[in-house]
Every structure is written in structure tokens, then in C-alpha cells.
Amino acid sequence: MKTIKNIGLITALIGFFIFTASIFTGTNNVTQEIFNTWTSQNVKSDYFINKAQQEIVGKELSTFELSSKIIAIAKESDAFEKGQENINWNKIIKVKWNVTSKNFVYPLVRASATGWVSKNQGLFFFLTFGLAIIGGVLAFGADYKLLGPAGIKNNGIFQHSATNRGYLGMIACIYFVAFYMLLYFYPNYLINPILSVNQISKGLSGNGSSQWFLYGFMYCSVMTVFAIRMFIKYRHNNYQLVRTSVVLFFQVAFAFLIPEILVAFNMPWFDFKNAWPLDYDFFFDLGKDWSLMSQGQVGLFMFVWGIVLTLVIVPVMVYFYGKRWYCSWVCGCGGLAETLGDPYRQLSSKSLFSWKVERWLIHGVLLFATLMTALTLYIFFAEIESWKELAFGITAYDVQSSYGFLIGSIFSGVIGTGFYPILGNRVWCRFGCPLAAYMGFVQRFKSRFRITTNGGQCISCGNCSTYCEQGIDVRAYAQKGENIVRSSCVGCGVCSAVCPRGVLKLENGPEDGRINPTQILLGNDVDLMELVNEK
Amino acid sequence: MEHIVIIGNGISGVTAARHIRKLSDKKITIISAETEYFFSRTALMYVYMGHMKFEHTQPYESWFWKKNSIELKQAFVKTIDTENNKLVFASGEDFSYDKLIIATGSKPNKFGWPGQDLNGVMGMYHKQDLENLEKFAPDNKTCKRAVIVGGGLIGIEMAEMLHSRNIPVTFLVRETSFWNGVLPAQESELINKEILNNHIDLRLGVNLQEIKSDANGNASSIIIKETGEEIACNVVGLTAGVSPNIDFIKDSAIETGRGVKVNRFLETNINNIYAIGDCAEQHEAIGERRNIEAVWYTGRMMGETLAQTICGNPTEYKPGHWFNSAKFMDIEYQTYGWVWAKPKENEARFYWESSCNKKAIHINFDKNTRQFIGINTFGIRMRHPFFDKVLTNKKSIDYVLEHLADANFDPEFYKLHEPEIIAKFNKENNTNIKLKKKSWKRIFSKTLNA
Ligand SMILES: Cc1cc2nc3c(=O)[nH]c(=O)nc-3n(C[C@H](O)[C@H](O)[C@H](O)COP(=O)(O)OP(=O)(O)OC[C@H]3O[C@@H](n4cnc5c(N)ncnc54)[C@H](O)[C@@H]3O)c2cc1C
Ligand code: SF4
Ligand code: SF4
């Protein structure tokens, strides 16, 4: 079995190696036709067009050469245009690291990719995704025997460098962060990985693959492989089995397949489970002709659904089941955290200090999201263009794009997922997600959900706190006999699973008796309990 | 200001300190030789197994003590001078108190076995034992086999610990079946199977003769008394029970037996000295409980009670109904009320075991009155408040079975065995008990109504 596990690990690593190495092997050939289409959509400056025509068209260039040439020419061209007497701002390309590569360079590089990968997309898919998936399944499958009989087997977690912030953890962190940086800001370097799923994308929606399709496909594959790991690890625990299956289903069906199929039928790409304010750009572009509202009946339905989801479905469901119904049963971010992130859950900090930071940050983001959306609605109803300055030289577009950059990309992606191996698997959900903050209020103040503490059975061992991904000091409540009603609990159920004394149970019941502050615990003399607890 | 000094920073001493702080602004000092901060002894195993780091076993962050002005002192108390109200530390230093709480816990039993002090021979009680185990059994190359002597709760935990690092374990148990002084035969057999399933070499009905040493004073093998068999090993775990850690008190004026003798108010024979936790011995047992109770929650309850007395509200220690829990490898165990290893004269039993042999319940009830006396449950979690109410209100076994759905505490979506259990009971007893649907109203009500 150990051999099978090792073969699996090596196979998966080979897949990852090929995937990663392909980034450095891209070649491009910009034909005249591709060049013309691209310039007609993206460039106004003749200076740029002339210069680029000479330097890149018809040449065999590596992706790196091509990208850096375009940026260099763009800078030159901007300098030239700014030197003119009457500056034509339309002709300025405005080079910015977090925008130019993805919006300006990427389309050309994507269209002009040549080389082995673009000609052998099927085989390349097998060598990357195929090997990684097969290897992963083998490696985790072997655990069925290796971990021993079903039960909590967290053996060695704090002794292994991958799961205890050791060098393997650091490497994983750097790898994740680098991947997210490329994905969000430099997709022009991910062309070969993107091509690996090109045929699948064409099969689904009819369009070639983009970086977002790659991301969606990776997301689903990673979740599937790690869900298998969960199924084996928690095969004695039905709550975990059901929850993991459901969250995987929602990711694959609602976040991946359905949107692609909608596109195939010429309908807008829409994720029915993504609720504002997590879906922060839901109200952007309201007035534009590509907005949901201007896409006929279906678009209108989606728009109304989105609003009902946030205003009615979310709070009502949180009332009945706690925010877990979303965070660890439906949500994609939560889904990744509960699968890929599960090996890292013990790394979240339980200190009071982190709790303070958490409350400032997550409520800050909720405030930011709300203000930004209010502004978005304001300019829509007041019919102000989003690029018009509102005050202090700031436009609505600036506010929206800085939210997108700071929160949407850096916080939720680069830090939120990239730092799993350092800060634990729910960095984003715990410190950043505005939807989680919103549901947290409902859960704390008006909900039937609680984690019941079983009388006086707690032995303060600390397993529950250690494995709480949300950094809740569960033991602090359990050892006092108090139920846990914290707004941040996502109801993953792992505290209950790892408790060796059967102290914790997630349940939905009447609001009466949900919060039960105690001084003296059950087991004591009745008089003393009443004396101390009820005065 | 009155100075309360507590020897021992375990659960009992710390609980007393916390509650005294809640009720008063007396000066409080906790003295311990073992560690600077309070930690959960019950979690020592998880540190070795890599489930947790040592810091995770500490329920309070280090700022907690200062914030609540509870002073901590790391020192070993050598003698107590009751005349002058002061302690003498091993360093020779004196330390005065106005009131003294002895909460020094237990120490592992050693029965004078030859070789019991060799390197690689250890109990599993203190943090130092954990460090020792880490040193002598870091992996299965350094420790080729470990032998554990004594089949109690700590023994099986130690077996699980070593097993988690793939170290072969031989487990010597004096009894003819695991823990059968406490567990009825069926459950004891269930656990025997669980131990064997985990590839632990379980030897029942055997005693340790001696531990042999190599040339460097390290344990190298053990001899079994009954068979004379020699088993080569590098580590020997001595887990044949614990006894109060009070050697340093024996020569003082404080009355001791096996533990420090206390009355119901947890007072010793000396006016301003009290004892709580594992080291306290009741003059007379409370109900069916033992005079010395070495469990976590009784230590906590004694701390809660004594804090009242010390802060001017004299309160007797009255533990409610007996309950406890443990985990045997992968099988969780809870018990409420009493289920003796052997039924008493007026008692009848009902036992159910699942087909997977990992779940079982065993109910003890009165033959004549049908009053519920206690339950052991294995692999099924049950609600503590439910059974507490049942015991207080002296409900019948029929009531308990009817309301088994209220009692269940397993996580959501778990397979429910109640119908199966009740069917078996009905068949064996010719009754017609019907399971009631789970009711939140009943679960939350303070009293019980049928
Ligand atoms: C491995 C293990 C697992 C356990 N699991 C469970 C369980 O699952 N459930 C359960 O109910 N119970 C369990 N127990 C028992 C439980 O831990 C004890 O009952 C409890 O810790 C006793 O608490 P205490 O405060 O009385 O003493 P202790 O926790 O023993 O604390 C006493 C402290 O006093 C210090 N001390 C002693 N003498 C001196 C001196 N002269 N000077 C200075 N300091 C001194 C000691 O070093 C120690 O730190 C377990 C025990 C062990 C060892
Ligand atoms: S408290 Fe428990 S259920 Fe809630 S997030 Fe933490 S581990 Fe999960
Ligand atoms: S895991 Fe269970 S016994 Fe341990 S501290 Fe948490 S609630 Fe208490």
C-alpha cells in the first residue's frame, strides 16, 4: 500500500511538474490577421501599431519575449503620445502591472500560441490533469488501508512539514501564491495550461478556453480528488460524507457546468448560488447593454433571483440551519477550503488577538462592499457615467476596481487560498468574506443553529479548538458547558468529529435555550448549579 | 488581603483559583513543579500522536493569569509547616499562606518490580513522561517494541499512542479480559476485539515479573510471571493505576490515608487547609462513588465547590449522578449512572450490540421496580442532561427506551439504531415499548413529564 501511495504521489508530481514547466515553453507566432484583429479592438495609437508590426508580426517568439516586447512598445508609445502637443488620451495605453498584462497582452498571446502543446492538446491534458488526477486518487485511495480502521486519524499532522508550516508547507504556499498571481494578473504566461483544457471548453460552451475556464476546471478537479480524500478519512462520519458530496455537487454543477451550458445556449454566464455581497460585481454594469437585465427573460430572471437569494433565501436558510448551509454545503470558496484545505485546518490561529483582527477585517470588508454597491446603484439611478469623477479625483469605477483588485483578487484568491498552508484553510471565509459577515449577524442573533455542549463531559483536551478552521476556541465554551453560537462558525462539523468524548453536536432547534451561559456545569449538586448559574 | 495558596496547577487547583477570583479579590498564588502553565493532562496522548502541539493542550492563553491576577510560581513544595502557615520549597525558600489548597493530583503506581527505574521505563502521567516517551520511542527504529503493563484507561491510551507511530506493542493485562473490573463481560470483550483489531499483542491474565536491563541501564526485555516468557523491548509503560501524589505531606500534621483526608466541605483536619482533586480522599464515600475519584470532572467540581466555601458560602461537595467517558482506540464510551461489572441482586440487564461489533449499549435497571440505574454506551453518543434528569426523577427503563431518540447525541445523518434496540428489548422482555419521536420540548424542559 505504501508503494501504491508513493507511485501515486510521484505520478501526481510529474503531472504538476509538466503543468508548471509548460509555462516556460510557450511559443507564439503573431500572424498579420491575428495582429489586425487584436489592434482593431485594443489599440488606437499608430505609433504602437507601426512599431509592433515590425517587431512582432510573423516572428517566432517565446511567450516571454512577446509579452515583454508588447509592454516595452506600449511604454514607448505612451511616452511618444504624451510628448505630442495635443495629447490624445484615447491613444494612451497606460501600462499598469495588474491590468495591462491580463487585459491588453493576454488576448494577443492567447490567439497566437503555437508549438507542441497547441497541436497536442489532448495528450497534454493527459500529461498534466490526467497524471495529477490519477496520481492523487491513487495516493489518497491508499490511505484507506494505510490510515487503519475508520476513525479519527490525525496522526503525525503536527510532525509533518507539509501540515505544520514546515518547508513543504512554505513551498506549497509559494506555489499557490505564484499560481494566483499569474492567474489574476499575468494569464499571458499561462497559455499552455489554458490550452490543456481547450477541447473541453469547446465541447461545453463552444468557445475556446480562457484562464477562467482553466481555473474552474482545476477547481473542480482539485475538489474532486480531495473530496475522495475526505470520503476516506471520514468514512465513519455520515455528516462529513453528505456534506462533502453536496458541496462538491454544487461546485461542479452550479459554478462550472451550468454556467458553461448557459453560454452554449447563448445565455449569460451565471452562477445561481453565488450571492451578493460575495458576488460583489452583481450590480456593476446595470445600465450597460451586456448587463443581465438587458438579456431578455432569462437575464431578468437571473437578476431577480440574485436579489431574492441575498435578501430572502440567505437569511431564511441561516435562520433555520445556520450559515453552514451556505459556507460548508454550497459555497465554492468553502468547498475548496473543506477539500484542498482540510489538511491545513489546524493552522488557523485561536488567539484572542486573531479574533479581534478577524472582527475588524471581516466587518470592514462588508462595509466596503456595501458602500461600493450603494455607490454603484447611486450612479446608476442618478445616471452618472462610472468614469466621471465624483469627489477627490475618484470615480465610481476607481472604487469598483480597487475593490475587485484588493478584495476580489488579492484577499480572496492570493491570500485566501495561497496562504492555506500558513494561516489555515479558511483565511478568506474567516477574515474577509462579506457574505459570511452578513450571515454571521443572522446566525448570532436570530437562528436555530447551535453546537450543543454535552453537559459536563468535556475534558478540555483541545482537539475541537485545534481543528476548528475558523479559529474558534470551541473548548473555551465546551469546558464551561456552554453552547457554541459564534457568528463565524461555518458548521463544518469537524470539532464534533474529532472530540474524543462526544461533547459536541451541531443541531437546529428552538431558539429558547440556545444560548446557555453557565458558571457551574452539569454533574454538580443541583443546588449549587442553581445558586451559581441563576443569580 | 487574604492569601490563598494552591499547590498544583491541574484542573482542580486552577478551577478553584478561577472561581475564587470570580467571587473575591483575594490574593491567589498557584504553585506547581511540573509546568509553568495549566495544561490538560487528558490530551498528553494527542501531543505524542501528532494531533496537537503541547501549546494546544493549554486551555488559557498566557495573558489570562496576569489579567485575572492569579500569580503562578514554578517550584516544588518539599514540606508544609502547618504551625507557621508556610511552605518550604525544594530550593529551601519559604512561602507563607493564609489558606492552603492541596491539589497535587496523582502519580503512577509502581509495585516494586525489579527494574522499574531503568531508562525507558515510564508511567504516563506528567509532562516529563511525555518527554521521556518522545526520547525513548521517537519511532519504530529506536523502539523496536514496547510493553505496557496494566490494562486501565491510561494503558490503552499508551498502546494507542505507540501504535500511531507503528511501534509494535505488547499489552500485559492482569485481568482475564480488558478492564473487566469495571466493564461487564460483553463490553470488555468488545474492547478486547478492538485492541486486537489494531494489531496490538494483547496478553490477558498475566503479570510482570521483572524488567531486564542492558549494559547501559536501559530496559531491554521483560519477563512474564505466569509463563516465564521473555519479551525483548526498548520501552516499558507502567500504567497499573495511579495513587495520590502526597508523599511530601505524610510527615506533616495533615491527616492522610491513601490520599489527603477531607470531609464533605473538602476541609482537612487542619483549619485553613483544604484538599481537592485526585489527591483528596473522602472520609466516607459519597453514594456509590469511591473515596478517591481520579477523574477530570470531579476535580473540576471540587474546585467549583471549594471556591464557594473559601469565599464565605460554606458548600458541601455533592457530586450529582455518576457519569464518565473514555475512548478505546476508535470506540467512544460514555456512561451515566451505574452499570457494574457484575449485576447486583436486584438488577437486571439489557444488552444490545450492533452487527459491526463497534457499537453497543448496556442498560442496568431494577428487576422489581424497573427503575433505570445506569447505561454504558459504546460508539453511540448520548445526551448527558437527558440521563441526569432520568436519574434524578428515578424514571423507568421503559421511559428511557421510549425516549431514546431524545437521548441520542450522535452527529446529524448518523444511522439511528433506536428501533432495532427497542425491538430487541421487546422481544427479550415481552414488552410493547414504542419509540417516541424526538421532542425538543422534552429535551429542553427542566423537569420530566411522561
Ligand atoms: C494520560 C491521562 C489521561 C486521562 N484521561 C482522562 C479522561 O479521559 N477523563 C477523565 O475524567 N480523567 C482523565 N485523566 C485523569 C485526570 O487527568 C485527572 O483526574 C486530573 O488531571 C486530576 O487533576 P488534579 O488537578 O487533581 O491534579 P493534577 O492534574 O495531577 O495536577 C497536580 C499538579 O500538582 C503538581 N504537584 C504535585 N506535587 C507537587 C509539589 N509537591 N510541589 C509542587 N507541585 C506539585 C503536579 O506536578 C501537577 O502539576 C487522565 C489522566 C491521564 C494521566
Ligand atoms: S466551531 Fe466546529 S463546526 Fe464551527 S467552524 Fe469550528 S470546527 Fe467547524
Ligand atoms: S474536543 Fe471535546 S473533550 Fe476535548 S476540549 Fe473539545 S469539547 Fe472538550
Specify the pLDDT at position B42. 97
**Considering the domain boundaries, does residue B384 fall inside one?**
yes
Of B191, B218, B240, the position where a domain reaches its end is B240
Cβ < 6 A, ligand 3 pocket: A 458-464, 474-475, 478-479, 499, 501, 503-504
Q: Give A501's contacts in chain B (Cβ within 8 Å).
A: 325-327, 332, 334
User: A245 CB near a chain B CB, below 8 Å?
Assistant: no
Q: Is A150 on the interface with B (CB under 8 A)?
A: yes
Residue type, A166: G
The residue whose CA has the least distance to atom 6 of ligand 3 is A464
**Shared-domain flag, residues B23 and B37:** yes
Chain A residues closer than 8 Å to B56 by CB: 462, 465-466
To the nearest 10°, the Cα dihedral for A277, A278, A282, A285? 100
Alpha-carbon distance of B33 to B292, in angstroms, equals 23
Ligand 3 centroid to residue B353 C-alpha, Å: 26
Query: Would you say residue B203 lies in a domain?
Result: yes
Q: Which one of the ligands is nearest to B46 CA? A: 1
| CATH code of the domain covering residue B342 | 3.30.390.30
Same domain (yes/no): B223, B301: no
For residue B115, is it within any domain?
no
Contact B178, B151 (CB under 8 A): yes
pLDDT digits over A268-304, tens only? 888 899 989 998 888 887 766 666 766 778 888 888 8
Quote the ligand 3 centre to A496 CA distance (angstroms). 8
For the stretch A418-440, pLDDT in tens is 999 999 999 999 999 999 999 99
Q: Are residues B278 and B300 in the same domain?
A: yes
In the block, which residue shows the cell 489527591? B279
pTM over 0.90? The answer is yes
Grid coordinates standing for A417?
Answer: 487560498
In this structure, the answer to whether residues B346 and B421 fall within a common structural domain is yes
Residue at B441 is within a domain: yes
A268 reaches B (C-beta below 8 A): no
The DSSP call for residue B175 is S
A358 within 8 A of A488, measured Cβ to Cβ? yes
Given B217, B240, B263, which residue is the final one in a domain? B240
Q: Are residues B327 and B430 in the same domain?
A: yes
CA distance B433 to B423: 8
Is residue B317 domain-resident?
no
> Are residue B177 and residue B235 in the same domain, yes or no?
yes
Chain CA centroid to CA B232, Å: 31
Asked if the structure places residue B116 within a domain, the reply is no
- The reply to whether B103 and B12 lie within a common domain is yes
**Cβ contacts from A onto B, under 8 A:** 178
Q: Is A512 on the interface with B (CB under 8 A)?
A: yes
Residue B155: CATH number of its domain = 3.50.50.60
Number of folded domains in chain B?
A: 3
φ, ψ for residue A45, nearest 5 deg = -80, 120
Q: Are residues B222 and B254 in the same domain?
A: no
Last residue of a domain, one of B212, B240, B268: B240
User: Which grid cell sits at A368?
Assistant: 466596503
The answer to whether position B450 is within a domain reads no
CB A59 within 8 A of CB A32: no
Same domain? For B298 and B383 the reply is no
Q: What distance in angstroms lies between residue B240's CA and the mean position of ligand 2's atoms?
A: 37
Q: Is the ipTM of this complex over 0.90?
A: yes
Residue A202 CA: distances (Å) to CA of A19, A121, A206, A218: 20, 12, 4, 16
Residues B125 and B233 in one domain: yes
Per residue, what are the HEC states of B322-363? CEEEEEECCEEEEEEECCCCCCCCCEEEEEEECCCCCCEEEE
Per-residue pLDDT of chain A (535 residues; tens, 9 = 90+): 899 999 999 999 999 999 999 998 888 999 999 999 999 998 889 999 999 999 999 999 999 999 999 999 999 999 999 888 888 888 888 888 888 999 999 999 999 998 889 889 999 999 999 999 999 999 999 999 999 999 999 999 999 999 999 999 999 999 999 999 999 999 999 999 999 999 999 999 889 999 999 999 999 999 999 999 999 999 999 999 999 999 999 999 999 999 999 888 888 888 899 989 998 888 887 766 666 766 778 888 888 888 899 999 999 999 999 999 999 999 999 999 999 999 999 999 999 999 999 999 999 999 989 998 888 888 888 877 777 777 787 787 888 888 888 898 889 889 999 999 999 999 999 999 999 999 999 999 999 999 999 999 999 999 999 999 999 999 999 999 999 999 999 999 999 999 999 999 999 999 888 888 777 777 777 677 777 776 5
* Domain range for B70: 3-107+243-310
CB contact under 8 A, A151 and B330: yes
Contacts 24+ apart (CB under 8 A), A390-399: A399/A372, A399/A375
Both B247 and B102 in one domain: the answer is yes
- Integer angstrom CA distances of residue A110 from A17, A29, A98, A264, A304: 22, 10, 18, 21, 35
Same domain, B261 and B369: no
Q: Does residue B126 lie within any of the structural domains? A: yes
